Amino acid sequence: MQDGLVVNDVRVRFGTTMAVNDVCLELAMGQVMSILGPSGCGKSTLLRVIAGLQDLEAGTVGFDGQDVTRVPTHRRGFGLMFQDGQLFGHLDVGGNIAYPLRRQGVPSRERTARITELLELVGLAGYEKRSITTLSGGQQQRVALARALAPRPRLLLLDEPLSALDRDLRERLATDLRRILTETGTTALLVTHDHDEALTVADQLAVMLAGRIVQHGPAQQVWRDPRGREVARMLGYRTEVDARRWSSAGLPGANADGSVLLRDNAFRVSDDGTVEGVVREARAVSGGSALAVELPGVGLVPAVGDDPSSARPDESVRLELNPHAITTSKAEA
């Protein structure tokens, strides 16, 4: 068995629901993997199996060459962090981070030094004496991360750790989380339904649908080349266009049949654009405008404009295609 995490043919059933269906996964030491999937696909259940919090019907979980399937949670040496940090409200920040260290019998002076180091790492230097109740949601998640990292877990399991935060904060924390995991060389598995978060944080990406891992590999590879329509949708290709219509409008990149799948930035408004269409919807967004444009013979496609007033409904615009923001999917048999 290899060094890192090895999940082999794991199956979990709740009544007639097959929550986890013959899942196999491998994660090498020091790597970070995101499991990306929609609500109810079984990703939390899989994480709970790996943590030892969920009984399984079949399969094994191995770590560092050892079969840990029957090893109790507290003996696995894994760390856990959830959406709502589950901090102890009666302890201050330092007390929360000290908690797992006390349980490990780490002497007081070492504990203090480790808390200082961890608070620096998560961007909360000097917060030792702050009451948990006075912290913002983002700060609480930073403390939860520090607490999860305190005992130097062999594997860190993160279940939607940023989901409860608003978008800006989520983006910032995802970047910080990536840096922190890399700096500490932590092997980690993150479960999320947010493709941006999955990509920001991880080296490896596994896409889970209806209890199964349907595609996995280096994150950038899965991102560039999603297999099938459902995976593509999960990765943010939200618009589907018939491939023949696409090609007959002179647009490149489609196979003879099937569909072309587009991200929201598949087209950009540009005077030099090669196709022309009519704006049907326009919305100001932080980086400019988000449009729905009707292309003759193709249908509605998403586009972005450089500034919030780049186009208004019923105006004609020229669009330039971003070939990196499209993919294709074969016709269903």
Ligand X SMILES: Nc1ncnc2c1ncn2[C@@H]1O[C@H](COP(=O)(O)OP(=O)(O)OP(=O)(O)O)[C@@H](O)[C@H]1O
Q: Which is nearer to ligand X, 45 or 239 (CB)?
A: 45
Angle, helices 108-121 vs 137-149, to 10°: value is 130
Q: How many Cα atoms sit within 13 Å of 246 on the Cβ side?
A: 24
Contact flag: residue 185 with ligand X (CB under 6 A): no
Q: Figure out which of the listed residues 5, 25, 27, 43 binds ligand X, where binding follows CB under 6 A.
A: 43
Provide, rounded to whole angstroms, the least separation between the CB of residue 326 and ligand X: 28
**Contact with ligand X (CB under 6 A) among 40, 185, 250, 313:** 40
If the CB atoms of residues 53 and 91 are measured against ligand X, the closer one turns out to be 53
Tell me the C-alpha distance between 155 and 50, whole Å. Answer: 10
41 binds ligand X (CB under 6 A): yes
Local structure of residue 332 (DSSP, 8 states): P
Q: How far is the CB of 287 from ligand X (least distance, A)?
A: 28
* Rounded least distance, CB 34 to ligand X, Å: 13
Q: How many positions of this chain bind ligand X (CB under 6 A)? A: 12
* Using rule CB under 6 A, residue 204 touches ligand X: no
Across the beta sheet with 5-14, what order do the strands follow? Answer: 17-27, 5-14, 58-63, 66-67
Q: Which stretch binds ligand X (CB under 6 A): 3-11, 34-42, 275-283, 302-310?
A: 34-42
Residue (14 or 88) nearer to ligand X, CB: 14
Amino acid at 86: Q
Is residue 42 involved in binding ligand X (CB under 6 A)? yes
Instruction: Give the nearest distance from C-beta 5 to ligand X in angstroms.
Output: 18
Q: Can you tell me the distance from the alpha carbon of 330 to that of 332, in angstroms, rounded to the nearest whole number?
A: 6
Distance separating alpha carbons of residues 23 and 239, to the nearest angstrom? 29
Is the CB of 230 or the CB of 320 nearer to ligand X? Answer: 230
Our finding on whether 14 is near ligand X (CB under 6 A) is yes
Q: Per rule CB under 6 A, is residue 286 in the interface with ligand X? A: no
Nearest distance from residue 37's CB to ligand X, in Å? 5
Q: Provide the token pair at 32.
A: 């970070």
Q: Which residues pair with 13 in a beta bridge?
A: 18
Query: If you write DSSP's letter for every residue of 22-46 in order, what string do you get?
Result: EEEEEE-TT-EEEEE--TTSSHHHH
Return d(Cα 71, Cα 52) in angstroms, integer.
Answer: 7
Site membership for ligand X, residue 193 (CB under 6 A) = yes
Contact call for residue 17 and ligand X (CB under 6 A): yes
Query: How far apart, in whole angstroms, are the C-alpha atoms of residue 185 and residue 92?
Result: 27
CB 187 within 8 A of CB 6: no
Whose Cβ is closer to ligand X: residue 190's or residue 325's? 190
| 313 makes contact with ligand X (CB under 6 A) | no
233 binds ligand X (CB under 6 A): no
In the complex, the smallest distance separating the C-beta of residue 84 from ligand X, rounded to whole angstroms, is: 13
Q: How far apart are CA 234 and CA 251, in angstroms?
A: 24
Closest to ligand X by CB, 73 vs 184, is: 73
Asked if 79 is part of the footprint of ligand X (rule: CB under 6 A), the reply reads no
Q: Which two tokens stand for residue 91?
A: 């302890």
φ, ψ (nearest 5 deg) of residue 111: -60, -50
Token pair, residue 324, equals 């990196």
Q: Which residues bind ligand X (CB under 6 A)?
A: 14, 17, 19, 37, 39-45, 193
